[in-house]
């Protein structure tokens, strides 16, 4: 059996070996509802035979995924417990769960390295719809830079074409894409998803012809359209070298062209981005050689607080395809989940009953007023 992941130190032992040729890490990003998970499933299907993808799910709040994940953040971080322990809402819980996961970035990178040695040429990473993880949160930078300093890494931004038919929504998507491009500093590919519902030709026109976009803007009379009109001039440089590809995650249309675009992005990483990250890798090695060693615990009020969770390889001959496990945080049993669902259903039923009672009382009161008014009118008549 290979060396256990729990024995890997936080210094990222594989960093000194240089940037490898494989696996190619593909980060799938996008707004909530853009179809990232369905897109990831279809990408895995089309790349399975030639690239044997190693699949990672980084969405801690999803109930289930339509693909078999080799690494699943839900096996390491209990999203519900994070919300309870830190008194967070859904979005804050997701961001915090990603922050916890990145405390074990060295171990995760080692798992990806081992996957490359086993013949996985690609590593496809599905991410949560909370795009703020990769726009301002530290965990997004740790994940992208941590992977890019050891493996060829590209970003695919999934955009919902149907919802982007509105110029204001389109510009919002482009601003998010632009901010992620300049923050990650990695090859960037925009997948125009859901072309089975609406053709993506208008997006191409808006990107390449400013006057066409201005004509579409003329139909908008909201205050924010003035800002959108100004930003469209600013993004001309962003559009010039932007790779785009129309796809349908539902039908699979366009994925042959998408694979070709991904290979172009990988070549771009090798020529333009690899020297930059090679320099960063050398700086990190020099810093780790001269700087203080990382500690395993942080003292807080005299109590040792462990950093993250312990990870380990699955036991041999178990048939388990999950390579990142947290034995200390076992997912809740189906019985507990059923009990919670029953409690939620009971609360929902009670709320529905209260709402219907309120509506019925209101209608009854209104009817009583009308009856009283009619009686008074009848009595007033001679």
For 36-70, how does the pLDDT look when each residue is reduced to its tens digit (9 = 90+)? 999 999 999 999 999 999 999 999 999 889 999 99
State the pLDDT at residue 186.
Answer: 94
Instruction: Give the whole-angstrom CA distance, residue 23 versus residue 154.
Output: 11
Q: Residue 66's domain spans which residues?
A: 24-284
117, two tokens: 């040695």
State the pLDDT at residue 285.
Answer: 79
- Would you say residue 297 has pLDDT above 60? no
Mean local confidence (pLDDT), 357-378: 79
Higher pLDDT: 219 or 198? It is 198
- Would you say residue 194 has pLDDT above 60? yes
Residue with tokens 């600013």: 234
- Which of 134-148, 232-246, 249-263, 324-338 is the least confident region? 324-338
Q: Using 50, 70 and 90 to split pLDDT, how confident is the model at 2?
A: very low
pLDDT in tens, 203-239: 999 988 888 888 888 777 666 677 777 777 778 778 8
Q: Using 50, 70 and 90 to split pLDDT, how confident is the model at 10?
A: very low
Q: In terms of Cα–Cα distance, which of 279, 287, 291, 293 is closest to 18?
A: 279
Residue 189 lies in a domain: yes
Residue 372 lies in a domain: no
List the CATH number of the domain containing 189: 3.40.50.300
Residue 235 lies in a domain: yes
State the pLDDT at residue 253.
Answer: 95
Q: Using 50, 70 and 90 to split pLDDT, how confident is the model at 310?
A: very low
- Which of 166-175, 315-324, 356-365 is the least confident region? 315-324
Instruction: Give the whole-angstrom CA distance, residue 14 versus residue 8.
Output: 10
Number of domains in the chain: 1
pLDDT in tens, 279-288: 888 887 788 7
Residue 118 lies in a domain: yes
- Would you say residue 3 has pLDDT above 80? no
Residue 289 lies in a domain: no
State the pLDDT at residue 199.
Answer: 93
What integer best gives the mean pLDDT of the chain?
Answer: 81
Residue 340 lies in a domain: no
Q: Using 50, 70 and 90 to split pLDDT, how confident is the model at 335?
A: low
Instruction: Give the whole-angstrom CA distance, residue 22 versus residue 151.
Output: 6
Residue 123: count other Cβ atoms within 10 Å of its Cβ: 27
Q: Using 50, 70 and 90 to split pLDDT, how confident is the model at 352?
A: low
Residue 356 lies in a domain: no
Q: How far is CA 6 from the centre of its chain?
A: 26
Residue 300 lies in a domain: no
- Which of 67-76, 126-135, 191-200, 314-323 is the least confident region? 314-323
State the pLDDT at residue 351.
Answer: 62
């Amino acid at each position: 059996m290979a060396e256990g992941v729990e024995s890997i130190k936080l210094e990222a032992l594989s960093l000194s070996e240089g940037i490898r040729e494989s696996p190619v890490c593909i980060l799938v990003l996008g707004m909530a509802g853009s179809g990232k998970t369905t897109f990831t499933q279809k990408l895995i299907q089309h790349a399975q035979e030639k690239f044997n993808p190693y699949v990672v799910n980084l969405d801690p709040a999803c109930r289930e995924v339509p693909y078999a994940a080799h690494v699943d953040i839900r096996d390491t971080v209990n999203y519900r417990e994070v919300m309870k322990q830190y008194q967070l809402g859904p979005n804050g819980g997701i961001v915090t769960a990603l922050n916890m996961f990145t405390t074990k970035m060295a171990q995760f990178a080692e798992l990806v390295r081992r996957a490359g040695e086993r013949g996985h040429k690609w590593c496809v990473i599905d991410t949560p719809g909370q795009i703020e993880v990769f726009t301002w949160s530290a965990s997004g930078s740790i994940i992208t830079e941590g992977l890019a300093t050891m493996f060829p890494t590209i970003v695919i931004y999934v955009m919902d074409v149907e919802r982007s038919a509105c110029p204001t929504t389109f510009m919002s998507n482009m601003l998010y894409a632009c901010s992620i491009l300049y923050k990650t500093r990695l090859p960037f590919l925009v997948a125009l998803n859901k072309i089975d519902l609406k053709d993506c030709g208008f997006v191409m026109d808006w990107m390449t012809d400013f006057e066409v976009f201005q004509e579409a803007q003329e139909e908008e009379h909201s205050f924010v359209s003035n800002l959108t009109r100004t930003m469209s001039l600013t993004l001309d440089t962003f559009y010039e070298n932007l790779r785009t590809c129309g796809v349908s995650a539902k039908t699979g249309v366009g994925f042959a062209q998408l694979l070709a675009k991904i290979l172009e992005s990988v070549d771009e990483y090798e020529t333009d981005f690899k020297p930059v990250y090679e320099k960063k890798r050398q700086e990190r090695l020099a810093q780790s050689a001269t700087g203080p060693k990382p500690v395993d615990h942080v003292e807080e009020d005299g109590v040792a607080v462990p950093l993250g969770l312990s990870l380990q390889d699955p036991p041999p001959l178990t048939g388990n395809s999950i390579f990142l496990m947290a034995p200390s945080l076992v997912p809740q049993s189906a019985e507990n989940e059923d009990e919670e669902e029953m409690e939620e259903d009971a609360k929902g039923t009670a709320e529905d009953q209260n709402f219907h009672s309120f509506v019925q009382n209101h209608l009854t009161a209104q009817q009583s007023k009308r009856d009283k008014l009619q009686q008074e009118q009848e009595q007033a008549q001679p």
